[in-house]
């Protein structure tokens, strides 16, 4: 390689600023702010580095600083929104820096004019965000110049100008860049930099919210980020009584718990083998006799959840709600409490054979491993329900199902994956396999348990976190990252929840009178 070519090569390095970088930094500031008297003195730089060395970041190329970003930590309540640059920076001395503060305040970002177009500013902004997250600060706030406003000051107010920049009708060299870096405008402030004639002394108060901020971190008992899901693909087999059934349930709960899972999901009507005891009865009478076992099974499930330290989604079972027979799924938490979700949409067969009726409410359940929802089988085929749960900040949707044929399974499966993508959540589904020759309406089974995710770079390319073999009794155990959901909702390449046109449409839950 020739010496000339070596001289032309960039060798970019992101690092913290050192006192010896002053001349490089001053050169950049003078070229940018030459008419504004905004270049710092050597002493001011020393003061800034002494106050908060971690917050002063630069990019060097072949040993020369070509871009830099400066920041400090403040208790933002001490300043409020109507501050000036001099007030919040202590006239450039950074003696307002408060290590116990909650906000990273960005004071300056600048790039050498010869390095424009290389997106170095974006690198600096990303490093600031990383710093904010690592320090567990609430947000980044900055006062942003609007130098392009000078060309429009006689025609419109600053607010109108900012709206045009937001809508990309007008380009502003500072504000357009900040909006592209996920900052939003909180308000317009005046006299922020009185010497900034291009901005007419106006500025935008900008904020980037740290979605990972934890106000009160605890040493133990924090909300989990990595959650382990255990799914049971259950084989239908004859059981002579509830004890036999629960022995098999306990085997799988023990297995799932042995992998330190946070949840164990069972299929819809996993207790259907007990129907064989009532095979001489009419189907509607048999299912009502099966409902008599539900209280006992729920009680024993709750005991298993506590003793094996795992939250159990107990598939579904028939249950009387007053004088109405419904299909219910119980969430048995490992702290001893429980909740339940009725199936809302009853299939034609369930209605005609058994006389089941749909429930009237839908819930998101708080657990020690995230906010979860439950949709039983057919319910997942109604996208409105998943969206209502997503609007209540659901992290994981559990879908216990029972399907007899492959086409029935594919309806549930396809819709479950769609719910994961459109609602930016995880969806776990499982059903039963095998057959029950002497149980009417439950004779054959088809299942392929799976865990689905949103479809973006942070997740599997096909949205499949894990998937079981078809029609085999087995389990799935897999981890899901709840922090990735937060990241997806705020910074994904598409943001289905955030970008809904709520000015045009919405989903309304009608409370039963």
By annotation, the residues acting in catalysis are: 268, 343, 377
Closest CA to 301 of 288, 317, 289, 286: 317
Tokens 């155990």, residue located = 477
Residues ≥6 apart with Cβ < 8 Å to 373 = 341, 362, 363, 364, 365, 386, 389, 392, 394, 396, 397, 398
Work out the burial of residue 111: count CB atoms within 10 Å of its CB; fewer than 13 is exposed, 13-18 middle, 19 or more buried.
Answer: buried
The Cα 385–Cα 344 span in angstroms is: 9
216, 164 in Cβ contact below 8 A?
no
Closest CA to 486 of 371, 401, 349: 371
Kind plus residue range of the DSSP H or E element containing 407? helix 406-423
Q: How many CB atoms lie within 10 A of CB 269?
A: 28
The Cα 358–Cα 356 span in angstroms is: 7
The Cα 245–Cα 270 span in angstroms is: 9
Report how far apart the first and last C-alpha atoms of the chain are (Å, whole number).
Answer: 81
**DSSP label at 299?**
H
Residues ≥6 apart with Cβ < 8 Å to 187 = 81, 204, 205
Closest CA to 416 of 438, 436, 399: 399
> 246-251: long-range contacts at Cβ-Cβ below 8 A with a sequence spacing of 24 or more?
246/297, 246/300, 249/301, 249/304, 250/304
């Amino acid at each position: 390689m020739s010496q000339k070519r070596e001289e032309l090569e960039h060798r970019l390095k992101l690092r913290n600023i050192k006192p010896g970088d002053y001349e490089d930094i001053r050169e950049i500031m003078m070229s940018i702010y030459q008419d504004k008297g905004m270049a710092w003195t050597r002493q001011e730089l020393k003061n800034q580095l002494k106050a908060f060395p971690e917050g002063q970041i630069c990019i060097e190329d072949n040993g020369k600083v070509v871009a830099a970003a400066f920041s400090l930590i403040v208790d933002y309540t001490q300043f409020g929104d109507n501050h000036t640059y001099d007030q919040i920076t202590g006239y450039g001395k950074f003696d307002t820096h408060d290590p116990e503060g909650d906000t990273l305040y960005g004071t300056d970002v600048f790039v050498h004019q010869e390095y424009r177009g290389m997106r170095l500013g974006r690198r600096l902004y990303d490093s600031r965000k990383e710093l904010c997250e690592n320090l567990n600060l609430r947000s980044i706030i900055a006062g942003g110049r609007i130098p392009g406003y000078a060309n429009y000051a006689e025609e419109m107010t600053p607010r109108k100008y900012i709206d045009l920049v937001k809508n990309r009708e007008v380009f502003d060299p500072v504000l357009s860049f900040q909006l592209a870096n996920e900052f939003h405008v909180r308000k317009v402030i005046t006299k922020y930099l009185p010497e900034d004639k291009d901005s007419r002394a106006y500025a935008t108060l900008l904020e980037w919210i740290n979605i990972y901020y934890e106000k009160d971190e605890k040493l133990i008992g924090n909300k989990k980020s990595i959650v382990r899901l255990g799914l049971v693909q259950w084989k239908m087999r004859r059981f002579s009584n509830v004890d036999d059934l629960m022995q098999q349930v306990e085997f799988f709960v023990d297995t799932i718990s042995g992998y330190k899972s946070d949840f164990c999901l069972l299929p819809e009507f996993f207790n259907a083998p007990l129907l064989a005891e009532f095979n001489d009865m009419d189907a509607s009478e048999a299912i009502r006799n099966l409902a008599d076992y539900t209280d006992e099974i729920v009680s024993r499930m709750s005991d298993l959840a506590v003793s094996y330290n795992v939250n159990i989604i107990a598939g579904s079972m028939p249950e009387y709600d007053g004088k109405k027979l419904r299909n219910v799924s119980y969430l048995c938490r490992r702290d001893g409490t429980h909740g339940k979700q009725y199936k809302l949409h009853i299939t034609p067969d369930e209605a005609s054979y058994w006389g089941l009726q749909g429930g009237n409410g839908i819930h998101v359940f708080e657990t020690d491993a995230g906010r979860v929802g439950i949709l039983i089988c057919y319910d997942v085929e109604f996208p409105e329900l998943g969206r209502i749960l997503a609007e209540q900040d659901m992290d994981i949707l559990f879908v216990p199902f029972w399907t007899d044929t492959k086409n029935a399974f594919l309806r549930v499966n396809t819709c479950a994956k769609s719910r994961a993508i459109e609602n930016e959540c995880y969806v776990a589904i499982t059903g039963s396999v095998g057959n029950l020759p002497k149980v009417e309406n439950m004779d054959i089974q088809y299942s392929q348990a799976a865990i689905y995710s949103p479809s973006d770079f942070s997740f599997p390319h096909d949205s499949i976190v894990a998937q079981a073999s078809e029609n085999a009794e087995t389990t799935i155990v897999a981890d899901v990252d709840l922090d990735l959901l937060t990241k997806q909702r705020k910074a994904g390449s598409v943001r289905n929840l955030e970008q809904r046109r709520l000015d045009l449409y919405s989903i309304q839950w009608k409370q039963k009178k």
